[in-house]
Chains A and B, each alone.
Chain A
Amino acid sequence: MRRPTLEAVAARAGVSKSSVSRVVNGETSVTPAIRDQVLRAVRELGYVPNGAARSLATQSTDTVAVIVSDPPQGVVSDDPMFSTVVRTVSRVLEDAGKQVTLMLAGSKESRARIERFIAAGHAAGLLLVPMHGPDPLPGALARMGVPMVSFGRTAPGVAYADNDNVGGASLAAGHLLSRGRRRVATITGPLDMIPSQDRLAGYRETLRESGRRSNVAIGDFTRVSGAQGMRQLLEDDPALDAVFAANDLMAIGALHALREAGRRVPDDVAVVGFDDIEAAMYTAPPLTTVRSPMGDQAAAAARLLLGLLDGEPGEPVIMQNELVVREST
């Protein structure tokens, strides 16, 4: 397909080349009548202005890369965090006139590709959404000197918006103890992720303060790992009477495993999750959980990045969590 030229559009519209150019480049120094004529000709001819030529002329970029440090395909494929965070940051950034490039860093090749893209100066800023670790990417990108913000704390020196993971986990464990539970276990997220470490620390501290023993199974934030973790905990300590799962998806898996093992929730075993995703209202029984302000945290991360791009300092933002008591405890 041969693309029509600027000249052809000018001829069809009966105006000068420079008028077409001004209209196409969004300048306002053109009368509405001429503007309409030009746009009609553009539509009729299917004219496509050359964006590459334009960005060569301006050398400026409004592009922000949203980099999701994704586990290999399929592991947390339908994690609601992805859609909430990606949608929220995209909306905030687009509202500020930025163009969002989504990049998934699931493999070594894709990480190398991202590093090349950023090193080549294609993005004015970076918003990083780490979903698993250990991840060499934040450190590598931080060295490139492009303004960068992380959703959740990550490599040292990278600005971030996070929620109070330690405090949230303490709320959860404290709630279970206050309900008279004595053998409180936990299912953690992947321990190479900072939120997982923090939630485990909050759980441990709270149990230690009340003289209770920790009982830990390690999951990876997926439902299936929550079910496996729960089965293992029941084997290790058949007398356990409560479990704190470090996210709601794993709590959903744990509820499933408890049902299969014939344990009633909350009568035999109380369950608390973390995040308060929408699904938590629909479990049987509905899930008590720690509400992390995922959407607000994502919006805060995007605003932090916009601030950095305007030359403001990138002070970390930490948001508070709250306990939402439903029927599983």
Chain B
Amino acid sequence: MRRPTLEAVAARAGVSRATVSRVVNGGTTVTAELRDAVMRAVEEMGYVPNLAARSLVTQRTDSIALVVSEPPTRVFSDDPMFSTVIRSASAELEAADKQVLLMLAGTPTSHARVERYLTGGHVDGVMLISMHGADPLPAAITRMRVPAVSYGRPAVNVNLPYVDDDNVGGAETAVRHLLERGRRRIATIAGPPDMIAGQDRLAGYRSVLHGSDRRSIVAIGDFTRESGAVAMRQLLEDDPALDAVFVANDLMAIGALQALRQAGRRVPDDVAVVGFDDIEAARYTEPPLTTVRQPFREQAAAMVRLLLRLLEGGEADPVVLPTELVVRESA
């Protein structure tokens, strides 16, 4: 297919080349009438402006890579964070007139591909959602000198501006709530130890219990519903007298509720349950879940603002957003 030229479009529209160029490049100094004539000709002829040439001149691509790096085992979990964060961030970026390139980096092969792409000058900046501590990508990205921000504090010590929520503080609030309700044997289902959110929420749980002279009772999950159910069964075996559990995310809390139901324990009468995140599903559990609200959307928006500031050459300090306890019926 031969592509029609700018000249051909100008001839068809009966205007000058400069006018076509201004219209195609989004200039506003053209009358509506001329603009319509040009756009009609563009459509009729299937004219394609050469953006590659344009970005050669401006040195900008107006594209942002949204890199999601997750261990291959979690790829098919349907955690709501993925869609909430990606949608919020995409909407914010599009509002800033940036194009979003989604890149999944779960395997070493895809890591290499992502690195090649990012060093290839195809994007102006990077937003990284890295989900596990052994991930080499945050360190690799800081070496590339591409403006980059991270969703969540990176698990390794790298110089990457990030947006996170107050995981320690949120967990502390949850556990204090259980203590205030008179619970004495408070267990926790922690997230994976190689994820910052998992570590921090466990630290918050431990610090409050430590201050109250109560014993920690810990089972480890991997943030999926199924792991929450398995961990809850294990906790009931380890300490049949437990009367509360703080679960490090809502998906695992949903699994824990099911295990408690199957074990014949009533919630909250026998065992009180608090989750973390406040995903929409938390309102629909039986009974509705008391949880710590994580501001997913605000975090995504803050991450976009942080990156846009970096692109303009500004400084970017980490942002940590507060969490909030949402009391429903499970505790």
How far is A91 from B314 in the complex, measured between Cα atoms in Å? Answer: 35
Q: Which of B86-132 contact A (CB under 8 A)?
A: 86-88, 90-91, 94, 99-104, 106, 110, 113, 116-117, 119-122
Contacts of A55 in B (CB 8 A): 52
Interface string of B35-61 (1 = CB under 8 A from A): 000000011001011111101100001
Binds B, one of A9-17, A178-186, A208-216, A277-285: A277-285
The answer on a CB contact under 8 Å between B144 and A87 is no
Q: Which residue of A lies closest to B97 (CB)?
A: A113
Contacts of A284 in B (CB 8 A): 257-258, 261, 285-286
The answer on a CB contact under 8 Å between A101 and B99 is yes
The answer on a CB contact under 8 Å between B102 and A86 is yes
Q: Which residue of B lies closest to A44 (CB)?
A: B143
Q: Which of A73-120 contact B (CB under 8 A)?
A: 73, 77-80, 82-84, 86-87, 90-91, 94, 99-104, 106, 110, 113, 117, 119-120
B146 interfacial by beta-carbon distance below 8 Å: yes
Of the residues B78, B280, B286, contact of A223 by C-beta under 8 Å: B280
B2 interfacial by beta-carbon distance below 8 Å: no
Nearest chain B CB to A143 CB, angstrom units: 9
The answer on a CB contact under 8 Å between B99 and A56 is no
Q: What bracket does the count of chain A residues touching chain B fall in? A: 35 or more
Contacts of B55 in A (CB 8 A): 52
Interface string of A279-296 (1 = CB under 8 A from B): 101111000000000010
Nearest chain A CB to B310 CB, angstrom units: 11
Of the residues A70, A87, A113, A117, contact of B104 by C-beta under 8 Å: A87
Contacts of A53 in B (CB 8 A): 56
B172 interfacial by beta-carbon distance below 8 Å: no
Of the residues A66, A77, A80, A87, contact of B87 by C-beta under 8 Å: A77
Nearest chain B CB to A7 CB, angstrom units: 16
Binds B, one of A30-38, A155-163, A235-243, A251-259: A251-259
B31 interfacial by beta-carbon distance below 8 Å: no
Nearest chain B CB to A92 CB, angstrom units: 11
The answer on a CB contact under 8 Å between B90 and A102 is yes
Q: Which residue of B lies closest to A252 (CB)?
A: B284
The answer on a CB contact under 8 Å between B119 and A94 is no
Contacts of B145 in A (CB 8 A): 1, 46, 48
Contacts of A253 in B (CB 8 A): 284
Contacts of B80 in A (CB 8 A): 77-78, 80, 83
Of the residues A59, A73, A86, contact of B91 by C-beta under 8 Å: A73
The answer on a CB contact under 8 Å between B87 and A223 is no
How far is A77 from B283 in the complex, measured between Cα atoms in Å? Answer: 14
Report the count of interface residues on B (CB-CB < 8 A): 61
A313 interfacial by beta-carbon distance below 8 Å: no
- Known contacts A48-B119, A73-B91, A87-B75; is-contact A101 B113 (Cβ 8 Å): no
A54 interfacial by beta-carbon distance below 8 Å: yes
The answer on a CB contact under 8 Å between B91 and A84 is no
Q: Which residue of B lies closest to A47 (CB)?
A: B119
Q: Which of B113, B119, B225 has the most CB of A within 10 A?
A: B119
The answer on a CB contact under 8 Å between A110 and B76 is no
Contacts of B225 in A (CB 8 A): 278-279, 281-282
Contacts of A52 in B (CB 8 A): 52-53, 55-56, 61, 121-122
The answer on a CB contact under 8 Å between A90 and B261 is no
The answer on a CB contact under 8 Å between A51 and B122 is yes
Contacts of A119 in B (CB 8 A): 42-43, 46, 48
Contacts of A101 in B (CB 8 A): 99-102
How far is A110 from B225 in the complex, measured between Cα atoms in Å? Answer: 35
Q: Which residue of B lies closest to A104 (CB)?
A: B90
Contacts of B73 in A (CB 8 A): none
How far is A9 from B228 in the complex, measured between Cα atoms in Å? Answer: 52
Contacts of B280 in A (CB 8 A): 77-78, 223
How far is A45 from B313 in the complex, measured between Cα atoms in Å? Answer: 19
Nearest chain B CB to A93 CB, angstrom units: 10
Interface string of B66-79 (1 = CB under 8 A from A): 10000000011111
Contacts of B255 in A (CB 8 A): 282
Q: Which of B52, B94, B113, B117 has the most CB of A within 10 A?
A: B52
A303 interfacial by beta-carbon distance below 8 Å: no
Q: Which of B210-227 contact A (CB under 8 A)?
A: 225
Of the residues A49, A77, A252, contact of B119 by C-beta under 8 Å: A49
The answer on a CB contact under 8 Å between A83 and B83 is yes
The answer on a CB contact under 8 Å between A256 and B284 is yes
The answer on a CB contact under 8 Å between B76 and A295 is yes
Q: Which of B104, B143, B225, B284 has the most CB of A within 10 A?
A: B284
The answer on a CB contact under 8 Å between A282 and B82 is no
The answer on a CB contact under 8 Å between A278 and B56 is no
How far is A94 from B65 in the complex, measured between Cα atoms in Å? Answer: 14
Contacts of B207 in A (CB 8 A): none
How far is A66 from B90 in the complex, measured between Cα atoms in Å? Answer: 13
How far is A145 from B46 in the complex, measured between Cα atoms in Å? Answer: 10
The answer on a CB contact under 8 Å between A56 and B120 is no
The answer on a CB contact under 8 Å between B94 and A110 is yes
A29 interfacial by beta-carbon distance below 8 Å: no
Contacts of A70 in B (CB 8 A): 87
- Known contacts A110-B94, A256-B284, A282-B254; is-contact A66 B102 (Cβ 8 Å): yes
Contacts of A82 in B (CB 8 A): 82-83, 86-87
Q: Which residue of B lies closest to A78 (CB)?
A: B80
How far is A281 from B122 in the complex, measured between Cα atoms in Å? Answer: 43
Q: Known pairs A77-B84, A106-B91. 12 more at Cβ < 8 A?
A: A43-B143, A48-B145, A52-B52, A82-B82, A87-B104, A94-B103, A102-B90, A104-B100, A110-B94, A120-B49, A278-B78, A279-B254
Which 5 pairs between the two chains have the least Cβ-Cβ distance? A78-B80, A80-B78, A102-B102, A284-B286, A51-B121
Question: What are 9 inter-chain pairs, A to B, with CB distance below 8 A?
Answer: A48-B121, A48-B145, A59-B52, A80-B80, A91-B75, A99-B101, A120-B48, A282-B229, A282-B258
